[in-house]
Structure 1
Amino acid sequence: MIIGTAGHIDHGKTALIGALTGVDTDRLKEEKARGISIDLGFAYLPSEAGILGFIDVPGHERFIHTMLAGASGIDFALLVVAADDGVMLQTREHLAILDLLGVSRGLVALTKADLADDARRAAVSVEIAEVLKGTALDGAPVLAVSAQTGEGIAELRAALVAAAASFSAERQHADFGARFRLSVDRSFALSGAGTVVTGTVVSGVVAVGDRVTVSPTGLPARVRSIHAQNRPAARGVTGDRCALNLAGDSITAQAIARGDVVLDPSLLSPTDRMDASLRVLGSEPKPLGTWFPARLHHGAVEVGARVVPLETEALAPGSYGLVQLVLERPIAAAVRDRFVLRDTSAQRTIGGGRFIDLRAPARKRRTPERLALLAAGGVADPATALARLVELPPYYLDLDAFARDRALAADAPAALAAELKLATLAVGGTTLALSAARWTALGEEIGTALAAYHAANPDLAGIGVEKLRMELGVRLPKPAFLVALARLAAEGMLAVEGGWARLAGHEVRLTRGDELLWEAIAPMLAGPERFRPPRVRDIAGRLGEPEADIRRLFKLLSRLGKVDEVAHDHFFLRPVVSVMVGHARTLASDGEFSAAAFRDRIEHGEHAVGRKVAIQILEFFDRHGVTLRRGDLRRINRHRLDLFGAVDEPPAALLAVQGGGGADVSASAREANGEESYLR
């Protein structure tokens, strides 16, 4: 159990720890010379309830920031009040800090009891009881002690041992499965060992040989050795006072500062903007308005901050509320961690609270939707918080980030998803979670949207994936949405083709008008002109139809796989494209071929293809990877030969169509070209 002192300067905190442990925690020359504590001091007391660790904090008002660095890691408060002085200014401020940090175990040592008679002791005890009212230490016992005479020391030691035994029993049931964090309060170089950092293990377990990271700097390190509760150990666990001997390329005593956090590498995600709950002390003279300046203390770190109330324009003294904290620099933190705010002149404590969201938005931070998320996210139990969050807009949550920001165990995302029966979408190292009901509703909404689109656009193959995503009530990020569509496709509900989505049973059918128009156009793309069909404008001129209508129909036929746009507004029948691929493969049987050779292969008679069209066709093949160009020559990519249909056998029953600008090709000519005629 870690015991922390608290109290006014010169009330005998250091002397009391010396009487209990035999250790003088004032280790600095200046401390010895001035007779006051300036930095944190540490001492240990072996007992039948385990090793009791003591953190001695300064009592002077100038060193409250140091007191906060020590108080953030304690399990039990030893509030010290001198019998001759009674309750003083720093007694009250230290007590307020303990209350803000949630320290609920403790007792009061009435020190210098040898300087007070029974009446004075009784009066100060009444004063102490009055000060404790309404705090986490309300009703704590008061024991009169004297470091000079030894009065009450044995009784105090017995009370601390009893408290440690009770604490140890509770700790056996604690969950050490959270990921490791240690708040650094000292960093120094030790001869023969290297860099050593000390602090309290905030969560999880660390073992010799573990890989860790220093946050927020991101320096990687390895744990060479551990001292836990002042003894060599193979590991340190939650609540232990530990010294870690760290090794790494950039690890030095100067590279790690008080306030840094040594943690599991997966937790590295420092933040400089978070939403939190805040309690303002009643002693604060004025309300806290927007952009109120303060000093934030969290663990052993101290950093400048601005406070933005979220529910009102200002937080009045003695009130609670939600705030956004904008920091001068990033820090390592976790959801539900406690913090304390002090004024910028370091003269008073303003208030304190807990972090709720470490990824707070800079805009729209006061909307009802945002406040609802904070109300859900502030719940202590992770499963309850998660269950509430996925029922609020945007109706999904990054499960891995949720577990990381709460420092939960590595297997927590999978365990929470199983416990709550969540639907998960894994993409790019991120796992998004939705409630089972929301996932079912999303599938139904997608099905309804596709059915409505097909009814309104029967001539289209499907709706654009991005357009579909933007129309839904649950707007998943695009990568996750693609994963969702793939899952629904695997279930047989829909099909995704390129950037289009459709219901599994949907088939595009041309309108009667488009069918009639296609019947007039198809002969123009067949027969003798098949390797050089007329362009959109030529077809429109021949039929007397608007050019836009012809182009629209070709685009639709292209999506249906009936034609291919080889060049702008130049469409070829798909079976013809397949035949041309076959010609290219034949030419490439001996290696590479030229554009001229390809032109000569496909043109015949009076219907010359021409070099320009031949090159356009080959560039179309290049774009699709059917041919691979090297200078003026090309070779075939055999892995893409079937892109436009099988080429091992020419398309069956190709029928040359009379009219439209040329006579039928004789069977002998077709045989010579290795082709057959084709259907429209």
Structure 2
Amino acid sequence: MHVVATAGHVDHGKSTLVERLTGTWPDRLAEERRRGLTIELGFAWTEIDGRRLAFVDVPGHERFVPNMLAGVGPVPAVVFVVAADEGWMPQSAEHLAALDALGVRHALLVVTKADLADPGPAAREALSQLSATSLGTPEVVPIGRGGELEPVRRALCSLADRLPAPDPSADVRLWVDRAFTVRGAGTVVTGTLVGGTLRAGDELELAGQRVGVRGLQSLGADETEVAAVARVAVNLRGVDRQRVRRGDALLTPGAWVHTSEVDVAVRSAGELHRELVLHLGAAAVPVSVRPFGTDAARLRLRSPLPLRIGDTGLLRDPGEHRIAAGIEVLDVRPPALTRRGAARARAVELAAGRVVPPPFARAGELHAMGFPLAGKRIGEWVVDDDALARARETALSRFDEWTRHNPVAAGMPMEVLRRAVDLPSAELVPAALDGTGLEVADGLVRRPGTGLPPRLESALRELADRFTEQPFRAPDADDLASLGLGTRELAAGVRAGRLIKLADGVFLGPDAVPLAAAALAELPQPFTVSEARRALNTTRRVAVPLLELLDTRGVTVREADTRRRLA
């Protein structure tokens, strides 16, 4: 299907042209028919030489320009209509300015009422205006009020054949241009699907909530699947009609970034007032504008929109009834401008087109922002090579610094290193250590084969000799102090597997558990704490926490009378 908008200033003439082509009068409101004036968006369709064409008829009167912009925003092509007996009109200029700001490149110029006046002057004047815009020099077709429509049909086919092919696998973003309730069916929204595919049964997002697609219609026919480009009506479940408004978007879940601040390139800018209205898709949102020179600006949106890099829209000054500028989205998550000179530096970046993706970002996040997935892939992450190289340098220096302050530690906790290097996920730490000579083991970053400091190694060997003779005699606080074993040294010994901690200040050798199990096996079962203490040749200070450890590990089992037996 191909979707085109009919624009210009000749309200009744546009609608008449659409009716003659489709057999359907697009002005559906009684007031529109009574006044001969298009107020709301009108829709009609036809088939020409095997090509299905849908028309969005937009208002021409200056009072209804916001409605006109909601209709042309998502549409890739336009039939621009002028009347031979009226020529170029002021309202034609605002329509053209809007189309130019939106970057519409595919057009057909139809000069109506060619039976009332020579269409040449009107055509030449219109072409002189259009040729200076994104529409270029379109084909011109003059027609009379009752004349032959075959030239228009041929021109429409030619226009349709020039339109770029849509991507049926793209993420869905259907800008809602109309919402209503159908008795017995519920909420229905309509819009122009410019990318992706909608299917009955799909789950989508709308106005911040999940909704289901109950049914689809396109060009008046029920469908189970509709691919872009198409005019489509979507019957939804799970949403109240009162919560849906024009400018909302029906979205592929999780595929879009909702943002209330964007950096944009500015095209054909007039005077940019501080407060303007952003028109993008079918949405119209008030924005505060912070210009970065003449070619870029930061927009703060009063309401967030689902936007991507490359989206085009326009800024309009509703007070002065003028199009202020066209915009193209450059960054949907721009950096904060808190440092002195940050705004000036940002202006230089935007002018040079150097908006770059975050150095470490999830692939889905980059896709939602509109960045290409270029860079090294680490799991779900896309990583910039230069950023990864800088992370390696930082990791090595932070590790050396931490080790100097923690000489007895078995290694630097991986989470501490991750924060020091400012990596967003622990999944990235091994990649940041690649080539540094460091490794991750048991949650610690260390040098492979690195032993404990000599002083600590000597103290632990002395304890090991003592435990060989008396495995259940834990050194007291004075013994530990005389060996230079403070809290950090003892913790390092435990991490290295050279000690086990029974309780605060109570440590034994690493083989204490199997040795205790063997000694207790010689006792009549069950046994008391006192009997265990004597069998182990130790004190109650050691026996009680050692038996609790054996319980925890399932070596012993407590009886109802507090005695124990081997499991």
TM-score using structure 1 length: 0.71
* Distance change >3 Å, CA 508–CA 181, structure 1 → 2: same
> What residue in structure 1 maps to residue 99 of structure 2?
98
Deviation at 1:240, TM superposition (A): 1.2
> What residue in structure 2 maps to residue 125 of structure 1?
123
> What residue in structure 1 maps to residue 160 of structure 2?
164
> What residue in structure 1 maps to residue 27 of structure 2?
26
* Distance change >3 Å, CA 589–CA 124, structure 1 → 2: farther
Pick the structure with greater CA Rg: 1
* Distance change >3 Å, CA 56–CA 520, structure 1 → 2: closer
Identify the match of residue 213 of structure 2 among 216, 222, 226: 222
2:18 is aligned with 1:88: no
2:181 is aligned with 1:189: yes
Residue aligned with 2:88, SS: coil
> What residue in structure 2 maps to residue 296 of structure 1?
278
Amino acid at match of 2:383: L
Identify the match of residue 411 of structure 2 among 462, 486, 502: 462
Q: How many residues align?
A: 563
The within-5 A match list for 1:316-327 is: 319-321=294-296, 323-327=297-301
Identify the match of residue 601 of structure 1 among 526, 532, 540: 532
Identify the match of residue 576 of structure 1 among 512, 527, 532: 512
Deviation at 1:450, TM superposition (A): 6.4
* Distance change >3 Å, CA 399–CA 9, structure 1 → 2: same
Identify the match of residue 337 of structure 1 among 303, 311, 317: 311
8 A contact 1:356–1:374 mirrored in 2 = no
Give the Cα–Cα distance (whole angstroms) in 1 for the partners of residues 524 and 33 of structure 2.
93
Give the Cα–Cα distance (whole angstroms) in 1 for the partners of residues 417 and 266 of structure 2.
42
Amino acid at match of 1:338: T
* Distance change >3 Å, CA 470–CA 608, structure 1 → 2: closer
- The sequence identity of aligned pairs, in percent, is 31
Q: Which consecutive residues of structure 1, in runs of 5 or more, have no partner in the other structure?
A: 379-387, 409-415, 639-680
* Distance change >3 Å, CA 629–CA 367, structure 1 → 2: farther
Note the alpha carbon deviations across 1:220-253, whole angstroms, 9 max, x for none.
21242332x444444222211122233x2x2344
Amino acid at match of 2:507: F
Give the Cα–Cα distance (whole angstroms) in 1 for the partners of residues 566 and 394 of structure 2.
42
Amino acid at match of 2:360: Y
8 A contact 1:195–1:245 mirrored in 2 = yes
Identify the match of residue 554 of structure 1 among 490, 493, 507: 490
Note the alpha carbon deviations across 1:305-356, whole angstroms, 9 max, x for none.
22233xx3xx4xxx421x3322222333333222222225473222222223
> What residue in structure 1 maps to residue 38 of structure 2?
37
2:476 is aligned with 1:535: yes
> What residue in structure 2 maps to residue 655 of structure 1?
none
Residue aligned with 2:32, SS: helix
* Distance change >3 Å, CA 570–CA 95, structure 1 → 2: same
8 A contact 2:559–2:565 mirrored in 1 = no
Note the alpha carbon deviations across 1:143-187, whole angstroms, 9 max, x for none.
33333xx246443333223322444xx53xx43221233222122
Q: Which consecutive residues of structure 2, in runs of 5 or more, have no partner in the other structure?
A: none
> What residue in structure 2 maps to residue 403 of structure 1?
367
> What residue in structure 2 maps to residue 664 of structure 1?
none
The within-5 A match list for 1:247-646 is: 248=237, 250-267=238-255, 269-282=257-270, 284=271, 287-288=272-273, 292-309=274-291, 312=292, 315=293, 319-321=294-296, 323-343=297-317, 345=319, 347-362=321-336, 366=343, 368=345, 372=349, 389=357, 395-406=359-370, 422-426=375-379, 431-434=380-383, 460-470=409-419, 472=421, 475-482=422-429, 484=431, 495-504=439-448, 506-511=449-454, 513-514=455-456, 517-518=459-460, 527-528=469-470, 530-540=471-481, 543=482, 550-580=486-516, 597-603=528-534, 609-610=539-540, 612-618=541-547
Deviation at 1:557, TM superposition (A): 2.6
8 A contact 2:532–2:543 mirrored in 1 = no
Amino acid at match of 1:302: A
* Distance change >3 Å, CA 254–CA 218, structure 1 → 2: same
Give the Cα–Cα distance (whole angstroms) in 1 for the partners of residues 458 and 314 of structure 2.
78
* Distance change >3 Å, CA 126–CA 629, structure 1 → 2: farther
Note the alpha carbon deviations across 1:573-623, whole angstroms, 9 max, x for none.
223354346667899986xx8xxx235303469x7612x544444566678
Residue aligned with 2:191, SS: strand
> What residue in structure 2 maps to residue 412 of structure 1?
none
2:137 is aligned with 1:145: no
8 A contact 2:205–2:251 mirrored in 1 = yes
8 A contact 2:261–2:332 mirrored in 1 = yes
8 A contact 1:279–1:352 mirrored in 2 = yes
Give the Cα–Cα distance (whole angstroms) in 2 for the partners of residues 625 and 132 of structure 1.
86
8 A contact 2:4–2:77 mirrored in 1 = yes
